[in-house]
Structure 1
Amino acid sequence: MMSIFTGRHSRAQAIVCAQVILCVLLTARALASEPGLSLEQTRTYALQSDPALVSQRQLEQAFRQDSAASRYWPNPKIALNAQNFPTDSWSFEQEPMTQIQLGISQMLPRGDSLDWQAKKQSLMAGLSHETQSLRMRELRRDVSLLWLEAARAQAAEQLTAEHLQHLQQQAAVLNRRYRNASGLNGSSGPQQQDLLRVELETQRIRERLLNLQQQYQAARQRLNEWLPPALASAPLQLNDEPLFQPSLAFATAMADDQTLAAILMQHPLWAQTDNRIASAAADIELARQEDKAQWGIQASYGYRGEDAMGHDRADFVSLGVSVDLPLFNGERNQRKVAASVRRREAEQTRQQLLLRQLFSAVRNDWAQYQLQQQRLEFYDQTLLPQINRQLQAVKNSYGQDRDDYNDVIRAVMERLNGDIERLNLLREWHKTAIRLEFYAPGFSSELPPVSAAQRQE
């Protein structure tokens, strides 16, 4: 049987509905804690399925094989010659100088060129290894940011969907009361503007929900690039947000340029520049080896047959040494050395620029991290409690006929907006922590998760 609510009974029922909406807002985060795909699982899948890492590992192995191969001398040459055969008879015994000659020759490398070539290939292998380390850091950072964006959109979508559902229920209740109260003279039931305001807020929330769904789908599709097909629709484990907080050692290092520089010099980007500088130095030494003489040794054995009288003839043995004359490569080699020196200086200049960029980036993120942390504390300690007090005051005032229902709806919407803004700020705070982890992963400590009770305070 349908009940007819009028006067204060109508307002009391409206307060009850507003309390239901508030309970939904407070418990939405707890609903998001269902088991799902955690951030660490996503990172693991991404690292296991990244083709770029596989390619760099193969390149590193190739360079190490080249380094080992570079230490070997060039192959010796063997020659078999038939020498001094007479053209009138082509007889092997007719002339004393006729012989079958077997020779071998070996060219020696210039100076220490083989060692420097092997060292350069080893440096290239080290550069590929550092590229792998950099790729792993970048992948962990980028996948974490995608995960955070999708998780934030999913949490906001769940929060908004629950709020929309109960607001629609509230609109249906108000419509029934309005129809019932309109037939009673002197009743103080809901007014038509209350119905219009509830309907307008419902449509606005529908539009916000569609926008959040669009954001979630966009972030999730990019995230699914790194996941197995079976996990393409797995829910995100929202209670496993990135729990990284810069340690005290990192915070202390921010005030000391030398300590911070020592931390940043452990970054793969810095190691890459070190490898490039060392590789350019190897090119200098290789160019200098061109000034060294290249020696060669030869040995041959000449077999001769018997003479026309049947007497044996002595065989011949020949030994020789050869060396090239650096008559035309003096200026050319000097220019090669000068070019290699300039390349090394260019890499050193890039390294100085890189350190400056790393300093700027990490200090900017550190400042943002601190400010975002302060804003979160402000939300939790000041703003959200004040919004709650305002909501409670409006509900009490409405129950005493001092405010209309629009004020209740407005206060409830402010609470929803406050929760979503805090969720957005929490996402940005964790994003900044992830970027700091990219620069100094060894200086991060775990941040204890925030409980649902703490978030509701």
Structure 2
Amino acid sequence: MKSLISSICRLRLTLPYAIISVSVFFSMCTHSAALSLSQTQQHVVANDPFLEGSNYRKKALENEKMAADYWSNPQLSSSIQNLPTNGFSLNQEPMTQFKVGIKQALPRGDVNTLKQQKYAAKSKVVSAESVSRALWLKREASVDWLNWYYASQREVLVDQERKLLEKLLEFTQSHYTQAIDGASQQDILQVRIAQLALEDKATQTHQLVEEAKARLSKWFGAPIVSTKPDAPSDKSILLGYEMSSKQLSRLIDQSEPFTLFQYHPEAQALKLQTRVKAAELAIEKEQTKAQWTVDASYGYRQDAENGASRADFVSIGVNVDLPFFNRAKQNALIGAAASRMHAKETEFRLKVNALASQAEVLRNRLTSLSEREVLYLNGLKQEVEQLAASILSAYASDEASIEDVVRAQLRQVEIEETLLSIDVQKMETLIMLAYLYLPVSSYAQSTVGASR
């Protein structure tokens, strides 16, 4: 079997890149029944077409930056001037000459330098967008993976509930068979009705699992063949950053969001776009400066018909355009460029405000979820377990009904389902907070170091 799988893998290596990626994923799921959150995050980043295209866009901008440093091509001209029409002889008239000239236009002001700055800023925008895209991919794929994990764990709880009802049915049948007081056929029917209702719940839960797997499959371009998700690690919950949840909480408490999130990749991309617009504004301002053109020519003359020597001509000239007669047009273009720059600055401030507001919402949500978790773990769970055991003992002594027993047993499962929901919501909230906070410090340090 292993040799057959290896042969199939070797055949797949001849297929296009997209099919290879899918084959690798299938191979991963074949050898490992569980698909971890870390594997999902790595896959979506490694196989994202946008990130692959960003590398090409960055190379294109680097080439454009290099090309912007060069002057425009010189112009070479040649002509025969002052040729007489009564004989077309080259030596008949003294002004007849063969002229070769060259002309070079100089850059207008510092346009070339500013264009280089513009393309350099655009390249940094692409880098910031790539970082932001990779983080966004991890966040969105992680949320879809958590939905699958939650649905799968609910199936586990349904199985536990099924076993619980089976034991309860055995207990009730045993009491009925032994003709213990209080045990009746009605009690058995009550448990069986609860089992039938559980089967409907199991069907709905399985539907949720399949729907969650279908949503997750969009990140792989193929159906998910893994049977279950692996337990998420702390590192994968924090999007691969080397930090614990306690360290993240400390970072959240000690930071000022409206200052910190100026360095978030999403905000940095907009800030760098502002620099692009500033360079475009400076380029428009340079258009108000004169542009110079220098030219030189050499005119060759033949000797006269009587053999007298004729001197050749050398000409050197300078041309300059006068951008002073369309001042209204230039001012309008400068105003438009300035408005675009200010609009980007506004977008940057709005993005920082939005990120800070989102962080505040998530921080309050995490606090509330932690309080609920403590309440359930230290209070409700123990109380409900004690209540269920007490009612079961009361039923055995004919002091409680079977409905009370079933209700108490199912209440335990409901507590477990609520704890599962809280746990998954906490993980999702931590993922969102990691997306906001963890890229900021490293990105800020790299940005400050680059500016220095």
TM-score by length of 1: 0.82
What is the aligned partner in structure 1 of residue 432 from structure 2?
A: 435
3-state DSSP class of the match of 1:325? coil
Instruction: Letter of the 1:387 partner, please give it.
Output: V
What is the aligned partner in structure 2 of residue 212 from structure 1?
A: 205
Once the two structures are superposed, residues 399-446 of structure 1 have per-residue CA deviations (whole angstroms, 9 ceiling, x without a partner) of 2221232222221111111111110110001111111001111589xx
Residue 223 in 1 paired to residue 220 in 2?
Answer: no
Shift of 1:268: 0.8
Once residues 368 and 60 of structure 1 are traced to their aligned partners in structure 2, the CA distance between those partners, rounded to angstroms, is 39
Kept in 1: contact 2:33–2:226 (CA 8 A): no
Once residues 232 and 340 of structure 2 are traced to their aligned partners in structure 1, the CA distance between those partners, rounded to angstroms, is 50
What is the aligned partner in structure 2 of residue 68 from structure 1?
A: 66
Once residues 347 and 136 of structure 2 are traced to their aligned partners in structure 1, the CA distance between those partners, rounded to angstroms, is 20
List aligned pairs for 1:279-428, cutoff 5 A: 279-428=276-425
Once residues 265 and 246 of structure 2 are traced to their aligned partners in structure 1, the CA distance between those partners, rounded to angstroms, is 20
Instruction: Letter of the 1:130 partner, please give it.
Output: A
Q: Which stretch shifts more, 203-212 or 368-377? A: 203-212
Once residues 213 and 440 of structure 2 are traced to their aligned partners in structure 1, the CA distance between those partners, rounded to angstroms, is 30
What is the aligned partner in structure 1 of residue 97 from structure 2?
A: 99
Instruction: Letter of the 2:231 partner, please give it.
Output: L
Q: Check 1:72–1:300 CA distance in 2 against 1; reply closer, same or farther (3 A cut).
A: same
When the two chains are superposed, the root-mean-square deviation of aligned CA atoms in Å is 2.5
Once residues 443 and 381 of structure 1 are traced to their aligned partners in structure 2, the CA distance between those partners, rounded to angstroms, is 36
Kept in 2: contact 1:70–1:117 (CA 8 A): yes
Return the match for 2:111 from 88, 103, 113.
113
Shift of 1:199: 2.4
Shift of 1:349: 2.2
Kept in 1: contact 2:91–2:303 (CA 8 A): yes
Return the match for 2:273 from 273, 276, 280.
276
Q: Check 1:121–1:49 CA distance in 2 against 1; reply closer, same or farther (3 A cut).
A: same
3-state DSSP class of the match of 1:292? coil
Shift of 1:289: 0.4
What is the aligned partner in structure 2 of residue 31 from structure 1?
A: none
What is the aligned partner in structure 2 of residue 203 from structure 1?
A: 196
Aligned pair count reads 404
Where structure 2 has 5 or more consecutive residues not aligned to the other structure, the ranges are 1-31, 239-243, 442-452
What is the aligned partner in structure 2 of residue 22 from structure 1?
A: none
Once residues 392 and 187 of structure 1 are traced to their aligned partners in structure 2, the CA distance between those partners, rounded to angstroms, is 19
Once the two structures are superposed, residues 195-234 of structure 1 have per-residue CA deviations (whole angstroms, 9 ceiling, x without a partner) of 3322221222122212221221122112122237596325
Once residues 168 and 361 of structure 1 are traced to their aligned partners in structure 2, the CA distance between those partners, rounded to angstroms, is 46
Shift of 1:154: 0.5
Return the match for 2:132 from 123, 131, 134.
134
Considering Cα pairs closer than 8 Å and 6+ residues apart, tell me whether 1 or 2 has the greater RCO: 1
Residue 236 in 1 paired to residue 252 in 2?
Answer: no
Shift of 1:68: 1.5
What is the aligned partner in structure 2 of residue 40 from structure 1?
A: 38
Instruction: Letter of the 2:359 partner, please give it.
Output: V
TM-score by length of 2: 0.83
Shift of 1:163: 2.7
Once the two structures are superposed, residues 297-341 of structure 1 have per-residue CA deviations (whole angstroms, 9 ceiling, x without a partner) of 001111222221234422211110000122322121112222222
Q: Check 1:74–1:145 CA distance in 2 against 1; reply closer, same or farther (3 A cut).
A: same
Kept in 2: contact 1:264–1:358 (CA 8 A): yes
Larger radius of gyration: 1
Q: Check 1:96–1:110 CA distance in 2 against 1; reply closer, same or farther (3 A cut).
A: same
Instruction: Letter of the 2:304 partner, please give it.
Output: D
Shift of 1:250: 5.1
Kept in 2: contact 1:387–1:415 (CA 8 A): yes
Q: Which stretch shifts more, 240-249 or 413-422? A: 240-249
Where structure 1 has 5 or more consecutive residues not aligned to the other structure, the ranges are 1-33, 445-457
Kept in 2: contact 1:94–1:307 (CA 8 A): yes
Shift of 1:76: 0.4
Once residues 264 and 342 of structure 2 are traced to their aligned partners in structure 1, the CA distance between those partners, rounded to angstroms, is 21
Once the two structures are superposed, residues 108-139 of structure 1 have per-residue CA deviations (whole angstroms, 9 ceiling, x without a partner) of 11100111111111111111111111111111
3-state DSSP class of the match of 2:89? coil
Once residues 227 and 237 of structure 1 are traced to their aligned partners in structure 2, the CA distance between those partners, rounded to angstroms, is 17
Instruction: Letter of the 1:364 partner, please give it.
Output: V
What is the aligned partner in structure 1 of residue 21 from structure 2?
A: none
Kept in 2: contact 1:150–1:220 (CA 8 A): yes
Kept in 2: contact 1:254–1:363 (CA 8 A): no
Q: Check 1:200–1:194 CA distance in 2 against 1; reply closer, same or farther (3 A cut).
A: same
Kept in 2: contact 1:295–1:321 (CA 8 A): yes
3-state DSSP class of the match of 1:232? coil
3-state DSSP class of the match of 2:290? coil
Once residues 184 and 195 of structure 2 are traced to their aligned partners in structure 1, the CA distance between those partners, rounded to angstroms, is 17
Q: Which stretch shifts more, 187-196 or 392-401? A: 187-196
Kept in 2: contact 1:130–1:271 (CA 8 A): yes
Kept in 2: contact 1:147–1:223 (CA 8 A): yes
Once the two structures are superposed, residues 273-311 of structure 1 have per-residue CA deviations (whole angstroms, 9 ceiling, x without a partner) of 211221221122111101100000001111222221234
